[in-house]
Amino acid sequence: MKNLIFLIFIFCFKFRGFSQQDAWVYLTGKQNVSESISNPISILTQKAIDRKNTHNIAIDFRDVPVNENYITQLKNAAGITVMAKSKWFNAVHVRGSQMDIQALSSLGFVASINFADKSLNTVKTSYKNKTKSKLENVFTAFNYGNAANQIQMLKGNTLHLFNYTGAGMTVAVLDAGFPNVNTMSAFQRLRNGGKILGGYDFVNRDDNVYANVSSSHGTWVLSTMAGYIENQYVGTAPDASYYLFITEDAPNENPVEESYWVEAAERADSLGVDVINTSLGYTTFDNPNYNYSMNDMDGNTAFITKGANIAFEKGMLLINSAGNSGNDSWQIVGAPADAAGVLSIGAVDSYGIYASFSSRGSSLQPTQKPDVVAQGLSSYVIGINDAIGTLNGTSFSAPILAGGVVCLWQALPQKTNTEIMQIVRESASQYSNPDYYLGYGIPDLEFALNLGFFSVSKSNENESIFLYPNPSRDKIFVKLPDSIENSILTIFDVLGKMIATYNFSKGDNEANISSLSKGMYLAKIEYSGGYKSFKIIKE
């Protein structure tokens, strides 16, 4: 039995033998490693090189492609089908009989073989298997939908007001099919702007990502970020650029989909992608011998989880659905959302209340999971016929937030993926008291922008510094502890431009802001030994 994040509680049972096995074949070396690293444009795009340089990400052995001569020899081996390849792992995913796969060990360039069925490995291995969780409701069509709540809950609309709409950022969506994206009016603005940069179907090995009509899941997911219907719907990152990659073989559950995902992540890295959104998860398979156990959701066991951690090391920001297993026996976050390098997103309803289907965190995971949450119950999406309706699942809370994070990173381009993830966590509603249901809570991207502009000092005096009244029409006052004699108040606009400066002493702590236009400003109080930042509203 399988359960997919993007299927809507459909269960299917398959009764068949498993004479064919899946395995990862790890290789011994690569060609022209030194030459490739010293001439990176031969293996990466200029955008990828620029992104790595900006964030001090090393170009290394893992960026060099797999030796194609080795792959050819594997393809020519008796009974072997090559399904996928990974430069990061220097490995090839193969399918064949147990005997034919084991025979590959005689090839001099084969370092090791790990079967997806762990019982077939002569040495215990940590490479295991997969499944996806599931959604709940059927697509419900409305005359008009309203995506405002799911954006406003995160304050993503504020970023849009500041013209942070994703322009200049590149997102890879790894999913199932994207039918009608090439024809729907909801993506006309995206197409007219040349913002669909390309795509690839890693399952069928072709470029036609719009042909897979067996699943509309990728189209729905993309709509939450990039959909645009005048006066009816705006996605959370409408001006970002997108690559569309199919890694999910919807009718089947097999570990090869993990390998497809890693291939797509590698390609995304080489293309200079900034953010990867995935609404897939892996726990169990059609062949029960491949199944993961809950103990395997430890952030470093599943093949896809290890791949996600490498993708994070390469400087990309990965955002993944936590899963929809909260109501079933599995319950906990699955792979790759268990990875420390993944920002894992749970689901709440339109009021910010935990959605019971949302997968929960566990002490098994090395970091807090889920990380944060967004609206995943009655999320507004656009269907393949341009109809706006609602669906349930972390499949949608993840891309809704991903679009907002894309806009945040656009506003803070010098921040690393690690810093952006942490800023998002710190902005969330229960950052000081996380739990396994909501993680750190609902992010406030407006506050995250403030945090990004000014890293707040950890000085002990911070707790006794106040700025009031806030909001204010004309005057604001600063309250300082007795230990601080003098301070400087600087006011910036939301783009970081300095507007005014005030010098304070114990007897002079008043600032006249009556000349400022209405709106939000950022304030920074500096004193000997530290500083503190505030968000202020001028009425």
Number of Cβ within 10 Å of residue 337's Cβ equals 37
Hey, what long-range contacts does 416-424 have (CB within 8 A, 24 or more apart)?
A: 416/55, 416/315, 417/55, 417/312, 417/315, 417/316, 417/317, 419/452, 420/317, 420/452, 421/317, 421/343, 421/371, 423/448, 423/451, 423/452, 424/343, 424/371, 424/372, 424/448
What type of residue is 252?
A: N
Instruction: Give CA separation, 503 vs 126, 180, 350, 474, 488, in Å.
Output: 60, 60, 44, 17, 5
DSSP annotation string for 493-510: -TTS-EEEEEEEETTB-E
C-alpha torsion sign, points 336, 395, 278, 245: positive
Residue 160 to residue 237: CA distance in whole angstroms: 9
Annotated catalytic residue 175:
yes
Annotated catalytic residue 395:
yes
Closest of 149, 169, 175, 152 to residue 320, by C-alpha: 175
Annotated catalytic residue 269:
no
Residue linked to tokens 């069925």: 117
DSSP annotation string for 29-48: --SSHHHHHHSGGGTS-HHH
Strand partners, 380: 390
In sequence order, what are the residues at sequence separation of 6 or more whose Cβ sits closer than 8 angstroms to the Cβ of residue 374? Answer: 150, 153, 154, 345, 347, 348, 397, 398, 400, 401, 442, 443
> 300 is written with which tokens?
């470093």
Number of Cβ within 10 Å of residue 222's Cβ equals 28
Considering 63, 117, 175, 386, which one is annotated as catalytic? 175
Q: Where are the alpha helices (DSSP H) in 326-372?
A: none
Q: How many residues does the chain have?
A: 539
Q: Where are the alpha helices (DSSP H) in 336-388?
A: none
CA 399 to chain centre: 8
Considering 241, 279, 344, 395, which one is annotated as catalytic? 395
Residue linked to tokens 């890293």: 455
In sequence order, what are the residues at sequence separation of 6 or more whose Cβ sits closer than 8 angstroms to the Cβ of residue 370? Answer: 322, 333, 337, 344, 345, 346, 358, 359, 360, 361, 438, 439
Residue 307 to residue 294: CA distance in whole angstroms: 19
Considering 217, 241, 249, 427, which one is annotated as catalytic? 217
> 320 is written with which tokens?
């993944």
Hey, what long-range contacts does 201-205 have (CB within 8 A, 24 or more apart)?
A: 201/245, 201/246, 202/84, 202/245, 202/246, 202/247, 202/260, 202/263, 202/264, 203/246, 203/247, 203/248, 203/249, 203/257, 203/260, 204/246
Q: Which residues are catalytic?
A: 175, 217, 395
